[in-house]
Amino acid sequence: MSNIQITDQDWEPLILRRKQQKTKQDKQNAERNGNTEIKTKNTNKGENDLMRKLDQDMDNLKVETVNKSISKTIMEARSALKMKQKDLANKINVQPQVIQQYENGKATPDIKLLQKLERVLKCKLTGKGFTK
């Protein structure tokens, strides 16, 4: 081993301190004296316009519901078979609230469910004459 001496070593301790937080009073005084730094936000105007347009489109969006003729046909066919909504729901494996929504015209149309209803009620619920 060779004897190497390090002569350029700095042995003074290094003290790290956090920047002192200004109090509310100091901030107010600086604002009054005009010693504040003005920061502007980097706004992406193009993106903001796109988001605003998208929000407006979503507000105007109307969800398609079951046609009144379908609702009326379901009620009439169920009544003709002397079934309750609960009985019909059990036959097609859905909850009674689903049948109630279809009869009130508040449900979104599902072709598979309408086909199940056609089989059980023995009536036509899809095709011409049932579109809005």
Residue 7 has pLDDT above 90, yes or no: no
Q: Which CATH architecture has domain 68-121?
A: Orthogonal Bundle (1.10)
Contacts of 78 (CB under 8 A, 6+ apart): 85, 88, 99, 103, 121
Question: Confidence band (pLDDT; 50, 70, 90) for 50?
Answer: confident
Report d(CA 82, CA 87) in Å as an integer: 10
Residue 18 has pLDDT above 60, yes or no: yes
Task: Spell out the domain ranges in the chain.
Answer: 68-121
pLDDT in tens, 66-111: 889 899 999 999 999 999 999 999 999 999 999 999 999 999 989 9
Residue 43 has pLDDT above 60, yes or no: no
What is the reported pLDDT for 21?
61
Residue 1 has pLDDT above 60, yes or no: no
- Residue 90, Cβ neighbours under 10 Å: how many? 14
Annotate 27-66 with b (16+ C-beta within 10 A) or e (fewer).
Answer: eeeeeeeeeeeeeeeeeeeeeeeeeeeeeeeeeeeeeebb
Query: Is the whole-model pTM more than 0.75?
Result: no
Structure tokens at 78: 């169920």
